Amino acid sequence: MRLPKTYGLNQAYLLLLAHSALASHRAEAGSEGEGRLPVPKRELEWGDANFLAISDTHGWLLGHQHATWPEPNYSGDYGDLASFVTHMREIAASKGSDLLLVDCGDHHDGSGLVSSSPSGANRADEIFHQLEFDVATIGNHELYSYEVARVVHEQAKGLGGRYLTSNVNITVPGRDGVWESVPIGERYRKFKTPQGRKVTAFGVIFDFQAHDLNLTIQSPTLMSQEPWFLETLRDAPDYFVLAGHMPVRGQGADWTPVYDAIRAQHPDVPIFIFGGHTHVRDCAQYDDRSIAVVPGRYLETATFVSSDLPGKSDSGDPLNINRRYIDANRVSYQFHTHTNHSTFDTPLGQNITSNLVHLATALNISTPLGHAPIDLYLARYPYGHRRSALTVWTNEVLPATVVDEERRGRRIIIGNTGSLRFDLFAGRFDKNDELTISPFKSRFWYTRLPASFALTLTPEMNRAGASKLLPASFNASDGRGTTVDRERMMYEDDLSVRREYDRWLADQREAYEAEYHALEGDEGARSGQVVLGRTKGLTPGYVTRDACKGKGDDIEHIPLPHSLSQPDFSQTPLEHGEEDEIIDVVVMDFALDDFMTAVHTLHPGSELSKKDFKPYAEGTSIDTLWGAYAGMKW
Ligand SMILES: *[C@@H]1O[C@H](CO)[C@@H](O)[C@H](O)[C@H]1NC(C)=O
Ligand SMILES: *[C@@H]1O[C@H](CO)[C@@H](O)[C@H](O)[C@H]1NC(C)=O
Ligand SMILES: *[C@@H]1O[C@H](CO)[C@@H](O)[C@H](O)[C@H]1NC(C)=O
Ligand SMILES: *[C@@H]1O[C@H](CO)[C@@H](O)[C@H](O)[C@H]1NC(C)=O
Ligand SMILES: *[C@@H]1O[C@H](CO)[C@@H](O)[C@H](O)[C@H]1NC(C)=O
Ligand SMILES: *[C@@H]1O[C@H](CO)[C@@H](O)[C@H](O)[C@H]1NC(C)=O
Ligand SMILES: *[C@@H]1O[C@H](CO)[C@@H](O)[C@H](O)[C@H]1NC(C)=O
Ligand SMILES: [Zn+2]
Ligand SMILES: [Zn+2]
């Protein structure tokens, strides 16, 4: 990486050091040898209006750094994205068209950059906004904590009215000390593009209830009836841009009221809708003059949307609208901008990359904790398989790292499987990986029960399922504002998003195997390995089947194996001994409610209550267990 000229010698030296750390990290991912990555085959279809959209970055601004597929495909960092955007804007200008950049929220809670400390998250947001978005909006992960939302509100003031929160307010002290409710960003943005097109934009979020005190979210339905909203719609722009933190179809997609309100006044004006929150690649068209896409997650995808615009004498014909899910890496970026390794980087892109590397160093998240011997997957294999992260977590990590020196007798530990939320790849394992896999600060509690009874509880908990996944169980007046409750709400939201994402991946794999089955008969479909072996030249990754016409994925992939047989709760093995011996039953605090429900289902007369639990292995929380294990075994 070449250094920007503005740096002095000492800074340059520091940067070199930092860069060589990143370079060695990335060499592992093969992004040094960009040759390993598949090259796109189709040029983009440019239109009069063009967009690049991302969403749900959750702090993955350093890109994906491991060598196991499909990670290298997403190895572009945020600086690379900035270089890509700069070139794409130039290409648009040379074609006499526009390229607008859109983000749909959820910057916080995720990789080590944003999960290691609040100041890290704030700094990551500042770097995020070094790249100028035309329209950006907020996600639920910016709304669990008043303090986080307040910082976002302050930062939004410096973004030139481009950060839109049409249905989210924050209560802050006003000029004369009186508290007042104000939009976190702006409610709308009306602007002219470089090519002189008039745009009206809004930023909305689904009717999210689990937010902190002194934040207000209006449902999209109520928002779309507001006088200010209807007034803003009145004069027709060349097109509308809606950025929103919600899916574009199915459960939770709440675009209809907003879309209907616009269509009631402007039946023919194009509407470009960008969603988020579900972490998938998705697309739907509500009519032939609009498109609604979800651009994926974790800086894995940069989604390109293009459309022609109605001419002066509008014949009312359908618009030619396209979407393309571009794998976020330098090879794809260079292909689509006709640049190469030496012409691709821009000063802004390099500056952003070095700022990110500095931040990672300052946060101490790049320090290696060990070297993982094999890949462990969250969901490629069923629970019980030796390559399942959950199996290793339950059978080895918990027993080795959750130890109470005062209590060395027989015990079991029952935990939520959702406390793991990313694959753990072979090779270098650092603090960033640890926080990415498990950022939650859940702690441990124990009670005393007969072994034979204790062993019936996890199966019962799994039979009942995790109650906290049901939205109905959320109680808005209940304890909001404490750190533990906030963590818990986040955890629950995380889990329900992941369920949808998992379903999406499993569907891809099922469809693929069914297709192969039809082509090749039983033999072809017998095992994933056979299928993979027979498909020449394709690498593993996303295989999107959305509701828009044509192929959305920029690069053709084979879907990853995916197993949905993952329990909600797991339990560590119990050493042999007497069946009715009274043992320690250790429960992770997020699992405690479901544990109590299981006790009372199996034993209705039981007087056991949460009061009968005492802290176990005090000071141990689940966010540091893999690191501790790595220190012992790797
Ligand atoms: C949001 O803030 C605006 C401007 O202060 C105010 O008029 C409006 O009532 C607030 N909306 C809600 C839902 O609190
Ligand atoms: C919420 O606002 C009220 C004033 O309306 C204030 O007294 C209170 O401290 C605020 N709570 C938080 C969590 O900021
Ligand atoms: C990269 O592109 C530039 C400009 O087109 C060209 O001069 C140069 O030779 C290329 N470099 C490589 C390594 O292909
Ligand atoms: C590069 O980053 C530094 C640190 O954030 C910032 O002060 C500077 O303005 C940036 N320069 C450019 C060209 O973006
Ligand atoms: C950085 O992290 C490593 C591993 O967690 C730790 O050993 C070291 O003391 C930390 N250094 C600082 C300065 O915090
Ligand atoms: C919600 O929590 C409050 C305070 O703990 C409690 O009084 C109320 O009954 C709960 N509501 C529901 C529906 O569980
Ligand atoms: C990633 O790159 C590998 C290696 O070329 C390829 O096999 C795989 O399909 C790619 N996956 C994605 C998601 O881009
Ligand atoms: Zn998200
Ligand atoms: Zn979200």
Taking only the tens place, the pLDDT of each residue in 470-520 is 433 344 444 444 556 677 778 888 888 998 999 999 999 998 888 776 665
Domain ranges for the chain: 9-362, 368-466+568-633
Among the listed ranges 3-17, 418-432, 574-588, which one has the minimum average pLDDT value? 3-17
Across the range 137-143, mean pLDDT stands at 97
The pLDDT confidence band at residue 537, using thresholds 50, 70 and 90, is confident
Q: Specify the CATH architecture of the domain 9-362.
A: 4-Layer Sandwich (3.60)
* pLDDT > 90 in the chain, percent: 76
Q: Are 548 and 307 in contact (CB under 8 A)?
A: no
**Tens digits of residue pLDDT in 566-596:** 999 999 999 999 989 999 999 998 899 899 9
Q: Which residue CA neighbors atom 2 of ligand 6 most closely?
A: 478
Q: Is 185 exposed, middle or buried (0-12, 13-18, 19+ CB in 10 A)?
A: buried
Q: pLDDT-based confidence at 74, cuts 50/70/90?
A: confident
pLDDT at 65 over 90: no
- pLDDT of 512 reads 86
Average pLDDT estimate for 322-334: 97
Nearest CA, atom 12, ligand 4 = 348
Average pLDDT over residues 121-143: 97
Looking at the CA of 173, name the nearest ligand: 2
Confidence of residue 121 (pLDDT cuts 50, 70, 90): very high
Q: What is the pLDDT of residue 532?
A: 53
Which residues make up the environment of ion ligand 9, defined by Cβ < 5 Å? 106, 139-140, 277
Could you tell which of 539, 544, 558, 560 is best to mutate to test the pocket of ligand 7, judged by most ligand atoms within 8 Å of the CB?
539
CA–CA dist 568, 360 (Å, integer)? 33
Q: Is 346 in the pocket of ligand 4 (CB under 6 A)?
A: no
Ligand 2 pocket, CB under 6 A: 146, 171, 179, 213-214
According to DSSP, the residues that pair with 124 across neighbouring strands are: none
pLDDT at 475: 41
- Residue 339 Cα to ligand 3 midpoint, Å, equals 8
- At 199, is the pLDDT very low, low, confident or very high (cuts 50, 70, 90)? very high
pLDDT in tens, 250-264: 999 999 999 999 999
pLDDT classification of 24: cutoffs 50, 70, 90: very low
Instruction: Give the burial string for 197-226 (b: 16+ CB within 10 Å, else e).
Output: bebbbbbbbbbbebbbeebebbbbeebbee
Does position 303 have pLDDT exceeding 80, yes or no?
Answer: yes
pTM for the model: 0.88
Residue of the CA atom closest to atom 4 of ligand 2: 179
Contact status, residue 244 vs residue 271, Cβ threshold 8 Å: no
Q: Please work out whether the CB of residue 117 comes within 6 Å of at least one atom of ligand 5.
A: no
- Determine the topology of domain 368-466+568-633 in CATH: 5'-nucleotidase;  domain 2 (3.90.780)
Give me the chain's average pLDDT, please.
89
- Residue 342 near ligand 3, beta carbon < 6 Å: yes
Edge-first strand listing for the sheet containing 179-183: 179-183, 168-173, 215-217
Predicted pLDDT of residue 535: 60
Distance 68 CA to ligand 8 centre (A): 23
